[in-house]
Amino acid sequence: MKIGILGGGQLARMMVQQCKMLNFDFVVLDPESHCPANQVGAEQIIGSYKNKEDIEKISKCVDVMTYDIEHINTEKLKELNIPVRPSPQILDVIKDKLLQKELLKKNNIPTSNFVNSIEEGIINFNYPFVQKLRKGGYDGKGVIIIKNEKDLKEAFKEDYFIEEMVNINKELAVIVAQDINGNMEVYPVVEMVFDERTNMCNTVVAPAQINNDLMEKAKEIGLKTIKALGNGAVGIFAIEMFLTNDNEILVNEIAPRPHNSAHFTLDGCITSQFEQHIRAIAGFPLGSPELIMPTVMVNIIGEGNGNSKVLGLKEVLKIEGVKVHLYGKKYVKPARKMGHVNIIDKDINSAINKAEIVKKTLKVIGCQK
């Protein structure tokens, strides 16, 4: 079977790496020559995942289509004569964060309160409150915390909505897989730690350091969320959640693809999220999501600008349980994800301590020469 992926970045790269062993062939559509997925054996069509002609071209040579990025041309996807999984209709809802919130509210899935305008936010919520762009935001981009009247000058002017500020104890994620027959598997609940400077996920701890009752509640909410998406919700979905100071769990956002919060599954689970996603969209049985051993994932974020240079690789490879995954990106930009490291250990606290060493030691920097 030949799988088409719109986007050839690190997510597509890891799908290819994980599933070549199952004898799948891959074609990716990406504007960057010799993109990360192409480097590991995917055929590449150089083009835009927003361009109708380019999407038509890749559709002619594959059996089923998926994507590793949300910002694609869904109208063209609806016209194709091959399966697109998850469906373009679901992607239309998910890539518009206001439509996501309305879906959650309609299905009685707990989420933070929201309104459509700054004026309503001022009336209904106390400062600070959160402003989000409806479309295009990722990795902390497209989000503003409005702390006072002065901050209103920097606010987005259109295509946004307002959320009530939540007192967060922890940020959690639940990964749910669904196959073409409606069978579902749910991965262990994880805890995400964010860098306050960039608002990007810095570390993921699996399993999350919460009690069993909260674990089960988070999983139930995750399953309910995917059921609410309806027919066409086939593949891997990441449900990001807030655990409040009052032990309430609120859904924040949904991603319809492999997700940073589940990179730990490459080394920590029986079936990685990448293999699971391809199994699901290709019509194969789902694999076990069981956690083999506690795992901590650390993102490797680029520093500076220029050609990429890796520092500290030999040093971190000396640490027992460390698994390094570099994405093959040739150029570094500030806050660009260049790779990640999984640390597996029978003792979660030991894994967390090793993760701190990795953060200080392994760097990918940009060099001008």
**Count of helix runs (H) and strand runs (E) in the chain:** 12, 20
CATH 3.40.50.20 range(s) for the chain read 2-84
pLDDT, position 194: 87
pLDDT, position 139: 66
Determine contact, residues 80/20, Cβ cutoff 8 Å: no
Check whether the bond before 110 is cis (ω within 30° of 0): no
Number of other CB atoms surrounding residue 92 within 10 Å: 15
Summarised one tens digit per residue, pLDDT across range 154-173 is 899 999 999 999 999 999 99
Summarised one tens digit per residue, pLDDT across range 33-90 is 999 999 999 999 999 999 999 999 999 999 999 999 998 999 999 999 999 999 999 9
Residues of the chain with pLDDT under 50: none
Q: Kindly state the tokens that stand for 350.
A: 């030991």
Q: Write the DSSP assignment of 212-273 as a string of letters.
A: HHHHHHHHHHHHHHHHHH-TT--EEEEEEEEEETTS-EEEEEEESS--GGGTTHHHHBSS-H
Number of other CB atoms surrounding residue 176 within 10 Å: 24
291 Cβ neighbours under 8 A, 6+ residues apart:
187, 188, 206, 207, 268, 269
CA 51 from chain center: how many Å? 23
CATH 3.30.1490.20 range(s) for the chain read 113-164
pLDDT, position 244: 97
pLDDT, position 335: 84
CATH 3.30.470.20 range(s) for the chain read 168-367
Yes or no: is domain 168-367 CATH 3.40.50.10880? no
pLDDT, position 369: 63
> Bridge partners of 35?
none
| DSSP collapsed to 3 states, 5-50 | EECCCHHHHHHHHHHHHHCCEEEEEECCCCCHHHHCCCEEEECCCC
Q: Write the DSSP assignment of 155-190 as a string of letters.
A: S--SSEEEEE---EEEEEEEEEEE-TTS-EEEPPPE
Q: What is the CATH number of domain 113-164?
A: 3.30.1490.20
- Total length of the chain: 369
pTM score of the predicted model: 0.95
pLDDT, position 213: 97
Fold of 2-84: Rossmann fold (3.40.50)
